[in-house]
Structure 1
């Protein structure tokens, strides 16, 4: 169990701020910004983050600056995510993480080139939220639980961990229950009604399809309607091969969005759901 989180003084960066946020959310201990001593590095109850010159997770030391120049881009945040067992999911499902690793280890110019954008574009992505939180973090020497900035950091860490853990649970649920239907030149994902119905039955489906390499081949989704006894039908990635305004006059369709990307039906019988899906299909000739 940690008694303290320690990181470097001076300018603050996203990697150590987010790493400290995760540790604060898990351990709810103070954060101190100063140079570590040898005793700090030897004490496993003190997490030393982004400073200290060693990566020894068994002693809760998470620095990356001693890695060679050609080491794959990892920062203090990466090391803490690894320690918490969520790094692989974070790399796959947090689109911002890899650029953050590059930015911290390679600098803004190399990162901009890697992203295929110019340096000025990187500056345009800055937010007052980023600026203020980092600036306020850089100005303090010690943060205690209950202080506003400490609580904000803890919220950030807690929300990130909850997102990753909830998403993993949702992906596992979809993997265990979903079916992939082959329909001519594409596929459709069908998620049957499993009681109890999840709060957001369609949540995580897109990420699941990405994780199994079917983000492009699946054109439509069918999933339980949490507000009714039937199903929701929607385009995946706004695929033009389906237009659900085509079924808005069907007796068992109680909603079809005017832009055609989603509809809701009270039909619970799979044969009828498939029939509605067929009626919403846009012919290849219409698309050409």
Structure 2
């Protein structure tokens, strides 16, 4: 995994702000908490590795902390300044896998809303409906600045966003590796179609959020069409949580609501809690919750 050459300033373009350079600056702040300056770079800035130049300058040179994508060919795969920063950190592939928002952000920045809508297979107006006032406020306030210093509210918020992005990507990889070591795939062989459930046993010590990333693990292993249910430790009790995967309607946990060791079954049937701990009993509960078709 790479790290940045030490820098004392982050420089990005003035004027309208976009999600890619905003988030790229956030990630850089999480690595090195320095001031942000918004102006056009001079040649001396691009040659100075102590100035991280983001999304401007027509130069991608990680050794000099230059991360711009605007010089790339018109038909280049959508790549934005955030892509380049994450790639330099060795996190890009995991980020593309774990952060569902990243690829659309690349498309939007490089291709615009019309091409992005076509790529997503939706009408153009759908893109506008997904806009968040959180995004709008942060980008608008960022665009109004010429310099941001540590201690200022927006600078501090950007650092927190960067920390959360990096922590999420790095910890999720660790979490997926943990699940791969401990999870068990149970096939319900005596039911037509042989569906499966993924069982994550209780460990010592217990993760803070035992069910975190379990659904993403199923998808990353190509098991999404086979696994219909998930069993993971209940962090509030000694038993387990039972859940549908992809809201698969073949499992209806209202069917086990009256079992003596089931203390909660949601009225819509998608999740349940049980005090049972033995694998045979957990599998039996899944079978009883299962529709035959």
Note the alpha carbon deviations across 1:5-42, whole angstroms, 9 max, x for none.
01011111111111011101211000001111222112
Equivalent in 97, 103, 118 of residue 102 of structure 2: 97
CA apart distance, 1:155 = 1.5
- TM-score relative to the length of structure 1: 0.95
Q: Does 1:78 align with 2:83?
A: yes
CA apart distance, 1:121 = 2.1
Q: Does 1:224 align with 2:233?
A: yes
Equivalent in 268, 275, 289 of residue 280 of structure 1: 289
- Name the residue aligned to 2:3: none
Q: Does 1:189 align with 2:194?
A: no
Residues 244 and 26 of structure 1: CA distance in aligned 2, closer, same or farther (over 3 Å): same
Note the alpha carbon deviations across 1:34-71, whole angstroms, 9 max, x for none.
11122211222211100111111121110001111111
CA apart distance, 1:166 = 2.1
CA distance in 2, matches of 1:21, 1:172: 27
Equivalent in 14, 22, 27 of residue 22 of structure 1: 27
CA apart distance, 1:193 = 1.1
Give unpaired runs (5+ residues) of structure 1: none
CA distance in 2, matches of 1:12, 1:105: 14
- Name the residue aligned to 2:264: 255
CA apart distance, 1:118 = 2.3
Aligned-residue RMSD, C-alpha:
1.3
CA distance in 1, matches of 2:159, 2:182: 34
CA distance in 1, matches of 2:113, 2:184: 43
Query: Are 2:188 and 2:287, in contact at CA under 8 Å, matched by a contact in 1?
Result: no
Equivalent in 142, 146, 150 of residue 141 of structure 1: 146
The total of aligned residue pairs comes to 284
- Name the residue aligned to 1:119: 124
CA distance in 1, matches of 2:99, 2:260: 41
Consecutive aligned runs of 4 or more in structure 1 exceeding 3 Å deviation: none
CA distance in 2, matches of 1:257, 1:179: 25
- Name the residue aligned to 2:174: 169
CA distance in 2, matches of 1:54, 1:219: 48
CA apart distance, 1:120 = 2.1
- TM-score relative to the length of structure 2: 0.93
Partner secondary structure for residue 226 of structure 1: coil
Query: Are 2:196 and 2:227, in contact at CA under 8 Å, matched by a contact in 1?
Result: yes
- Name the residue aligned to 1:268: 277
Give unpaired runs (5+ residues) of structure 2: 1-5
CA distance in 2, matches of 1:269, 1:106: 53
